[in-house]
Each structure stands twice: as C-alpha cells, then as structure tokens.
Structure 1
Amino acid sequence: MNRKENSRRDPTPRVYDKKSGEYRPVAGRQEQNAPGRKKYATPQRRSEIRRRRRRRFLLVFYILLFLAVTVGAVVVSLTVLFKIDTIEVAGTSRYPADVIIKTGGISKGENLFLADTGKASAAIQQKLPYIGTAKVSRGLPAKIKIEVAEVPVSGAVEDKGKYIVIGTNGKVLELAGELPKNCPVIKGLSLAKAEVGKTMVYKDTSQKETFESLTAAINTNKLGKITEIDLRNPSKIQILYDSRILMNLGLPSDFDYKIRFAKTILDEGGIKENEQGVLNLSVAAEDNKTFFDPSHTVSSAPSSQSSSK
C-alpha cells in the first residue's frame, strides 16, 4: 500500500532492480530535473528541434542562392550584355555629330547603364558653347541619344580688336576676330571678365539687368534683324532695326511692351520696308502711342503710329 501511495505522489520514473528487489529512480533523471538544468527532451521535442534547424538551414541556403544568382546576373549584364552599339545626335547645331559625340566622352562598347549621361551633358555644354542644352538619354537595348539645341545670340561686344559673342543664356560663346554674320553690335556694355563657355561678369549690376531684360524681350517677341544695341545712355536705350530704323526705348523699363508694340507696327505695315527713320517708343507704355520720324531727327514733324495693347 505504501509503495502504491509513494508511486502516486512521486511521478519520477522507476525501474525494478532484481538484486535489491526494489524499485529505484531511472539513472540521471533526478539530475536532469534539478534546478538550473535543462529539462528532459522527449522524442517529439527532439524531432521538432531537428525540423526547425532544417527549416532555418534551408532558408539561409535559399537566401544565399538568390543573392548569388542576382550578383551573377548583374555581373553578366555589366560585362556581356547592354553594350552600346549606337550613339545618335538629334537637333540643330553648328558642330558636327562626331564632334558632339567625342566631346560627350561616351563611346561604343561601353555598358549602357555605366555610361555617365550627366557628365556627358555637362561636358558638351561647357566645351561647345554654342550648344545651349544637351540632353543625353539611354535607349534599350543598347542606344545613347544626344539631343542638342543651340543658344540664340544676343550680340557681340567689341574689345581690343576682337568681338565677344554673347548668348541669351549669359555665356560667352566665342571670341571672334570679326563680327559674325547677323550678329548685333552691343555698344556701352562694360564687362569685367569674359571667358569662352563661362558666364559673363559685368562691371555694373544695373547694366546687367538692363541688358538681360532687353534681350529677353527681343527674343520673346521674336524681333529679328537687330543690327545694333546701344546702352551708352542709361535713360535712352536704343536698338537699330535692319540698319534703317532706330528705335528709342527711353528708360530701361517695360521692354516687353515696347518691343511688342514695335513689332506690331512692323508686321502691320505701319512702316514700309524701304523707309528709314527714328521710332520713338519711350512713352509707348504710358500713352499707348509711338512716333515715327522718317527724317532721323526728333525735332521734325512726326507722323503718329498707334497700336492697341
């Protein structure tokens, strides 16, 4: 009876010992259940542990395999595939296509995705000043496209027997020995520094603002045939149109309105193609009127021309 009661109270597994004729605890069981020691692992638990280890191993293996395949694909694409076989130049420029391509620094045989398109674009715009914009883009499977656009010419400043050709982007386009064809002469513009391919440095900030505002108005309104821009008198800005009509713009303000007014008169035949004279636009913005003097003298009796705003 005592043996049965003890077995009920003590759940520790026991085994019968033939020599002593008694039941004794399984060897090592008490030590395993002692405080601070690991519990006894059942066969089911050991099986679960093995499955978990196998899953972790497979997960790590598949991750490493994926990385190896990815790296291999990248290496192959950068060394074997996507080699540039075509470089195309589009747009209008005075520079030959082969010069533009060579300046960009991208050549056939390079990898399409390793080609530095930003650096190529900057090099073309800096080393070929007459190119205002150069967009370099990739095209699959192995093509580079260079789209260029020339910067319009604002005019040229004579300096020590040479002409500093200026673009509408404010950069020096060229130092020419003679005045380029169809290029306006700029008088009264003082420059502190002028290097080809770089932005001009002006001596006078206010003169810089006047010049840039005036050339912007001329280009926006597409007034061509400008042969001279005179900035010598800051209160009497003048431009010479087609070597025959001197336009007096007065103070350096409202250039856009004044130029648009003058172009409307020319387009509508207000001044004939064979006429010469002075077109006074100095008060056009205030009075919506301008005066044309065919005798080249403001004191003579003017003939009035007006146009709606």
Structure 2
Amino acid sequence: MASEMEFSQHSKVKRRSPWHGPMVLVLLFFVVILVMSLAFRVSKIEVINASEYTDEEIISASGVERGANLFFVDRFKAASMIFSDLPYMDTVSITRQLPNKIVIQAEGSAPAAYMVIDEEYWLLDRSGKMLGTTDSLTAGNYPEIRSLEPMTVLEGEDMLVEGTNAERLAVLQTILPALRAEDVSSLVEWIDLRDPANPSLRYDGRLTVYLGAEGEMLYRIAMLKNVVSQLAAEDAGTLYYTNGSAWTFSPD
C-alpha cells in the first residue's frame, strides 16, 4: 500500500490555468506595440516632387510630422489632405520605409483647357478637375470648352455634372489626353461638346473638325494630325471623320 500511495503521489501533474495561453499572447501583443511605438519614429520625410508646389508645402499639407510613429501614419488621410489644400495636384502616393522614413511622391495637375462660368475663366486639367480661376490672357493659352454646363464648380474638385453633360464630360476626358499625347493642344482654339457623339474643335485657326464617334480618340487625333500635314498651309474649311480612317475635307 505504501508503494502504491507513493506512486500515486508522484503521478500527480500540475495543470496550467486555461487563461495562461491567452494572457501570454496579450502580453506579447503589448510588448510588440511598445517596441513599435518607441523604435519606429518618423525622422525623415522625402518628397519626390513633380509639381509647382515646394517640398515644404506638400509636407505641411500632408499633416505628417517628424517624431510620429511610422506605422500609425494614416497615409490615405495624408493624401486626402494634400489634395484638399493643394488643388494643382494630380496624383499622390505615400509609402513607409523602415525604420524611420516616409516618402511622398507627388505629381501636379497641368491646365489643359478653360471654361467661362459666370463670366469667370476657370482652368481645368485633362480629367476635368477645376484648378481655379485666371485672367483671360492666361486662359487664352488653352482650348476653350464649349457646351458643357457643370452643376457646381469648386477649386481642386472634379466638376459636378449630370445627364447629357455627364456624357459630354466623358468625351472631353478622352479628347484632352489625346491632344496632349499628340502634342497639338496649342493648335486647338476651342472644343464644342454640344453633340457628344460627334464633338467638334477648331484646329490651327483655319479648320473646323468633326471627330465622329468611331474608334479610339487617340487614334482619331493622330489621324487628324496626319491629314492636316497633307493639306496646304492656306487650306481652310471643315474636316469630317466618318469611319475607319476616312476623312472628308470641305474647303471654305
């Protein structure tokens, strides 16, 4: 009996509390948070800048401060603040680099056209974002947009449109990048979006061009550039794009 009792006593096993594992995990979690908050502090803010704003203006607008915890920096909020404060901004990307660096990559919006709204000259970029008002002399460096009526316009915001005007804006968003890609924006006096299925523009001060509805806009603008190069310098009139690569010229 003694040996049995001795065996029984030595065979007892101490059991851990069921809370032991979760408590260890919670403790480790707080240790990790503490280490992150102490070790990863923002000490460098680099700006890769392709805009008209200074690096300091971009950093200030972002709200990112040196000494902040690297992992707690809200990149999306910072980008939103930059767009809100700096209307001439097109794209913003914010990334973290261990152990202590924030990189802000910013590209500015370039005026691509203008509109006359309530007797004011509004510049807009190729996506339709309103960049602010200017004088008539500056506006004259860009094509005038006609037959597009936004509901509201705010500096640094996309114009608000509805109905047929939404269709017209969608067409404009294909025309402006195409003009820029073919480097002919400076040759365009105005763009009329009255008929979004067949927009027109004034080209080189002597040609009224109807762009039609078929094919990629970049292709149509490239074809237009090629057709105009084959006309005589004194030729003036109207060009109609029909289908495929067919253009019809009607002289004045």
Aligned-pair Cα RMSD in Å: 3.1
Secondary structure (helix, strand or coil) at the match of 1:191 reads coil
Question: Deviation of residue 160 (structure 1)?
Answer: 2.8
Rg bigger for which structure?
A: 1
TM-score, structure 2 as length reference: 0.80
Question: Deviation of residue 76 (structure 1)?
Answer: 3.4
Secondary structure (helix, strand or coil) at the match of 1:228 reads strand
Partner of 2:155: 196
Q: Does 1:270 align with 2:233?
A: no
From 199, 206, 216, the equivalent of 1:237 is: 199
Secondary structure (helix, strand or coil) at the match of 1:258 reads helix
Question: Deviation of residue 129 (structure 1)?
Answer: 2.1
Question: Which structure 2 residues correspond to residues 80-229 of structure 1 after superposition, within 5 A?
Answer: 80-178=38-136, 179-180=138-139, 182-202=141-161, 204-229=165-190
Q: Would you say the 8 A contact 2:41–2:67 is kept in 1? A: yes
Higher relative contact order (CA 8 A, sep 6+): 2
More displaced 10-residue stretch of structure 1: 209-218 or 122-131: 209-218
Partner of 1:38: none
Query: Following the alignment from structure 2 to structure 1, what is the Cα–Cα distance between the partners of residues 55 and 237?
Result: 44
Query: Following the alignment from structure 2 to structure 1, what is the Cα–Cα distance between the partners of residues 130 and 67?
Result: 35
Q: Amino acid of the residue matched to residue 11 of structure 2?
A: E
Partner of 2:209: 248
Q: 1:286 to 1:141 in 2, by over 3 A?
A: closer
From 206, 222, 234, the equivalent of 1:260 is: 222
Q: Amino acid of the residue matched to residue 185 of structure 1?
A: E
Q: 1:207 to 1:232 in 2, by over 3 A?
A: closer
Structure 1: runs of 5+ lacking an equivalent: 1-12, 14-40, 292-297, 301-309
Q: Amino acid of the residue matched to residue 182 of structure 1?
A: N
Question: Deviation of residue 182 (structure 1)?
Answer: 3.3
Q: Percent identity?
A: 20
Query: Following the alignment from structure 1 to structure 2, what is the Cα–Cα distance between the partners of residues 116 and 172?
Result: 26
Partner of 1:22: none
Q: Would you say the 8 A contact 2:202–2:208 is kept in 1? A: yes
Secondary structure (helix, strand or coil) at the match of 1:106 reads coil
Q: 1:134 to 1:279 in 2, by over 3 A?
A: farther
Q: Does 1:285 align with 2:243?
A: yes
More displaced 10-residue stretch of structure 1: 177-186 or 102-111: 177-186
More displaced 10-residue stretch of structure 1: 227-236 or 181-190: 227-236
Query: Following the alignment from structure 1 to structure 2, what is the Cα–Cα distance between the partners of residues 181 and 158?
Result: 11
Q: 1:69 to 1:174 in 2, by over 3 A?
A: same
Q: Amino acid of the residue matched to residue 202 of structure 2?
A: L
Q: Would you say the 8 A contact 1:190–1:202 is kept in 2? A: yes
Q: Would you say the 8 A contact 2:94–2:103 is kept in 1? A: yes
Secondary structure (helix, strand or coil) at the match of 2:87 reads coil
Query: Following the alignment from structure 1 to structure 2, what is the Cα–Cα distance between the partners of residues 210 and 99?
Result: 34
Question: Deviation of residue 250 (structure 1)?
Answer: 4.9
Secondary structure (helix, strand or coil) at the match of 2:64 reads coil
Query: Following the alignment from structure 1 to structure 2, what is the Cα–Cα distance between the partners of residues 125 and 207?
Result: 25
Secondary structure (helix, strand or coil) at the match of 1:248 reads strand
Structure 2: runs of 5+ lacking an equivalent: none
Q: 1:152 to 1:284 in 2, by over 3 A?
A: farther
Partner of 1:56: 16
Secondary structure (helix, strand or coil) at the match of 1:282 reads strand
Query: Following the alignment from structure 2 to structure 1, what is the Cα–Cα distance between the partners of residues 28 and 152?
Result: 57
Q: 1:271 to 1:206 in 2, by over 3 A?
A: same
Secondary structure (helix, strand or coil) at the match of 2:240 reads coil
The one-character-per-residue Cα deviations of 1:122-166 (angstroms, maximum 9, x if unpaired) are 221232222111000011121110011223433110123321222
Query: Following the alignment from structure 1 to structure 2, what is the Cα–Cα distance between the partners of residues 126 and 187?
Result: 27
TM-score, structure 1 as length reference: 0.67
Secondary structure (helix, strand or coil) at the match of 1:195 reads coil
Q: Would you say the 8 A contact 1:258–1:284 is kept in 2? A: no
Secondary structure (helix, strand or coil) at the match of 1:42 reads helix
